[in-house]
Amino acid sequence: MAIFREFAQLCEEIEKESGKKEKARLIGEFLRQLSPEEGRIASHLFLGSFPAGRRIFVSWNTLMDTLGEMFPLSPKDLQKIGKSAVDIGEMVEGIYKRWGRYKSRGITIREIYEKLASLAELEGKGAMRKRKTILKGLLVGMDSLEAKYLTKTIVGEMRIGVKEGMVLEGLAYAVGISIGEVRKGFLLYGDIGKTVENFLSKGRTALLSLSLKPFQPLQPMLAQMAYSVREAFEEIEGDLALEFKYDGARVQIHKEGDKVMIFSRHLNDLTSSFPEVVEEVKSNIKGDAILEGEVVAVKEGRFMPFQEILRRVTRKREITRMQREIPLKLFLFDCLYADGESLIERSYEERWERLREIKGGIALAERIVPEDVEKGEEFFRKALESGAEGVMAKALKGIYTPGSRGKLWLKVKKSATLDLLIIGAEWGYGRRHNWLSDYHLACWDREKRELLMVGKTFKGLTDEEFEEMTKRLLSLKVREEGKVVYVKPEVVVEVAFNDIQRSPRYKCGYALRLARILRIREDKRPEEADDLSAVEKIYHSQ
């Protein structure tokens, strides 16, 4: 809880500091430690505009009368103190110092807010008496520094050289985003307190949420890996839901009036690839919405491999034939916007409820809110039996965090896999002598921005894929040493393995045992491959 005395001390520091940047940094450091609500209060305190938009009717006379009840003030004393004080705040400070009667009881900024709010509400008969009682109640529990800044706040003149712009600079520093974004948020929120409160609680999402509207796609929220349902229960705070993790293409569906657009995980326009999804959405969803789901290829009631859906995405012609060959099914799992309202700041629980209300006849992801780990594990087995890739565990209270891979969503797969980059390949033997078939696999060390080899494999691809891959890798060749062709790290592959061992063979100290390629991740960019921490995490979870 933020203590008013700390705030007063900070104001002293800010006042003495002449550099604007440093002043903003001090504000930022302070805001960073506050709850969003305290941030709102503090921002008004800094500006002496408190409580927001309301006036506190405390006149000079009321203040002096109150102090007169607390100290044996004589006109002579007042004159003497007044001589060296530059404003009323310093005057009050001088009075406190002259008699040294009161100590700080450590009042919080929230209590100050509540008391001042009640002062602002007083009117009519007896208001003056009550005002004095409240004021005295505050002042007797303060030392000279707190009394100085309480007075400054009440009269609305802080004189510490802080204007709105500087509070915004401090906020940008506290949240770690650009001042441009914060200013934009301020224009949209229209109030400094609200701006600070929203950015402190939601970070960049605060801004996104304000500007969210159909046809402006937003970066999808991503998941971290958990290695078992039990781990998901341990990692996620509070209750969670489990959903089937379908193995298809993620889609972000935007609808306004009669117009529908579909975006991929990388926000490419997929509208023309999935005409049946467009029709399904048009005929089922009544109002405007932004929805998320997974489109899966399904034939005769069975899920088809992920590669099939890719064919639907890459093929731009003969869509009707493709529709027949590779039928699709859409499973919705999130609702980010509905009828003019952004929902990304709402909890997943509320978003799901909204999704259920508006989905019409469209299927939702299969889901449960498991009572315990055992029920969760049962659901996980059911997911695998149905042909899903695993489950997604989602915190019921979690907001939607665009573009971030946090712990509000965790994915649990049948067995852990890594997305790795092919950095080199060896010419094969015998039947494979014309192919580059033994692939060198690497993960990132993001801090050092280097790639670290963690294993090799020649398993997992079909003959057709080996042939394709050979051509592709040769086009990426940077040099050849002996039987190894080194390539530009562009191809991401999802790799399964039996386990990870400690090994001096590779610089990173780990090696994958019995690695095999599950699929080529055409949908992943090189920078999206896993990093060493993912390898370490799996190693420790074994």
Q: Which is nearer to ligand ATP, 183 or 250 (CB)?
A: 250
Q: What's the closest the beta carbon of residue 35 comes to ligand ATP, in angstroms? A: 29
| Footprint of ligand ATP on 363-382 (CB under 6 A) | 365
Query: Looking at 26-34, 238-246, 340-348, 463-471, which segment touches ligand ATP (CB under 6 A)?
Result: 238-246
Query: Looking at 171-179, 196-204, 243-251, 470-478, which segment touches ligand ATP (CB under 6 A)?
Result: 243-251
CB distance 186 to 172 below 8 Å: no
- 3-state DSSP assignment of residue 125: coil
Pairing between strand 328-338 and 289-299? Answer: antiparallel
Q: What's the closest the beta carbon of residue 444 comes to ligand ATP, in angstroms? A: 14
CB distance 433 to 427 below 8 Å: yes
CB-hemisphere CA count at 13 Å for 18? 0
Q: Which is nearer to ligand ATP, 194 or 250 (CB)?
A: 250
Q: How many whole angstroms separate alpha carbon 403 and alpha carbon 406? A: 9
Query: Looking at 15-23, 245-253, 422-430, 473-481, which segment touches ligand ATP (CB under 6 A)?
Result: 245-253
Task: Pick left, alpha or beta for residue 287 (phi over 0 → left; psi -120 to 50 → alpha; otherwise beta).
Answer: beta
Tokens representing 293 are: 């789901």
Query: Which residue in 245, 255, 413, 524 is the catalytic one?
Result: 245
Nearest Cα to 264, choosing from 249, 286, 247, 248?
249
Q: Which is nearer to ligand ATP, 162 or 412 (CB)?
A: 412
Pick one of 23, 44, 204, 245: the residue that binds ligand ATP (CB under 6 A): 245
Q: What's the closest the beta carbon of residue 230 comes to ligand ATP, in angstroms? A: 19
Q: Which is nearer to ligand ATP, 85 or 222 (CB)?
A: 222
Q: What's the closest the beta carbon of residue 445 comes to ligand ATP, in angstroms? A: 19
Query: Which amino acid is present at 351?
Result: R
Q: What's the closest the beta carbon of residue 297 comes to ligand ATP, in angstroms? A: 13
Q: What's the closest the beta carbon of residue 265 comes to ligand ATP, in angstroms? A: 6
14 binds ligand ATP (CB under 6 A): no
Q: How many whole angstroms separate alpha carbon 466 and alpha carbon 267? A: 30
145 binds ligand ATP (CB under 6 A): no
143 binds ligand ATP (CB under 6 A): no
Pick one of 20, 32, 132, 250: the residue that binds ligand ATP (CB under 6 A): 250
Tokens representing 404 are: 């971030």
Q: Verify whether residue 359 is a known catalytic residue.
A: no
Pick one of 169, 243, 280, 308: the residue that binds ligand ATP (CB under 6 A): 243
Nearest Cα to 109, choosing from 57, 149, 166, 60?
149
265 binds ligand ATP (CB under 6 A): yes
Q: What's the closest the beta carbon of residue 363 comes to ligand ATP, in angstroms? A: 11
CB-hemisphere CA count at 13 Å for 25? 6
Q: Which is nearer to ligand ATP, 5 or 351 (CB)?
A: 351
- Helices (H) then strands (E): counts for the chain: 21, 20
Interface mask toward ligand ATP for 393-412; x: CB under 6 A: ------------------x-
Pick one of 107, 122, 177, 222: the residue that binds ligand ATP (CB under 6 A): 222
| Footprint of ligand ATP on 266-305 (CB under 6 A) | 294
Q: What's the closest the beta carbon of residue 33 comes to ligand ATP, in angstroms? A: 31
Q: How many whole angstroms separate alpha carbon 434 and alpha carbon 437? A: 9
Query: Looking at 17-25, 79-87, 241-249, 309-317, which segment touches ligand ATP (CB under 6 A)?
Result: 241-249
Q: Which is nearer to ligand ATP, 222 or 322 (CB)?
A: 222
Nearest Cα to 208, choosing from 400, 70, 464, 46?
400
- The residue count for binding ligand ATP (CB under 6 A) is 13
Q: How many whole angstroms separate alpha carbon 522 and alpha carbon 512? A: 22
Nearest Cα to 333, choosing from 379, 373, 387, 391?
391
Q: How many whole angstroms separate alpha carbon 81 and alpha carbon 93? A: 9
Q: How many whole angstroms separate alpha carbon 44 and alpha carbon 95? A: 26
Nearest Cα to 411, choosing from 372, 383, 386?
383
223 binds ligand ATP (CB under 6 A): yes
Query: Looking at 113-121, 124-132, 187-195, 237-245, which segment touches ligand ATP (CB under 6 A)?
Result: 237-245
In the chain, what's the furthest Cα-to-Cα distance? Answer: 107
**495: β partners:** 418, 517
Residues 6+ positions from 534 with CB-CB distance below 8 Å: 225, 418, 443
Query: Scanning the structure block, which residue is given the tokens 């807010």?
Result: 113
Query: Scanning the structure block, which residue is given the tokens 């999130």?
Result: 334
Q: Which is nearer to ligand ATP, 43 or 457 (CB)?
A: 457
CB distance 89 to 159 below 8 Å: yes
Q: Which is nearer to ligand ATP, 41 or 383 (CB)?
A: 383
Q: What's the closest the beta carbon of residue 530 comes to ligand ATP, in angstroms? A: 9
Pick one of 4, 189, 199, 246: the residue that binds ligand ATP (CB under 6 A): 246
Pick one of 392, 395, 453, 534: the residue that binds ligand ATP (CB under 6 A): 392
Cβ atoms within 10 A of the Cβ of 168, count?
A: 22
Pick one of 333, 379, 400, 444: the residue that binds ligand ATP (CB under 6 A): 333
CA 206 to the chain's CA centroid: 10
Q: How many whole angstroms separate alpha carbon 226 and alpha carbon 541? A: 9
Nearest Cα to 512, choosing from 435, 469, 460?
460
Interface mask toward ligand ATP for 430-469; x: CB under 6 A: ----------------------------------------
Q: What's the closest the beta carbon of residue 387 comes to ligand ATP, in angstroms? A: 12
Binding site for ligand ATP (CB under 6 A): 222-223, 243-246, 250, 265, 294, 333, 365, 392, 411
- Catalytic residue numbers read 245
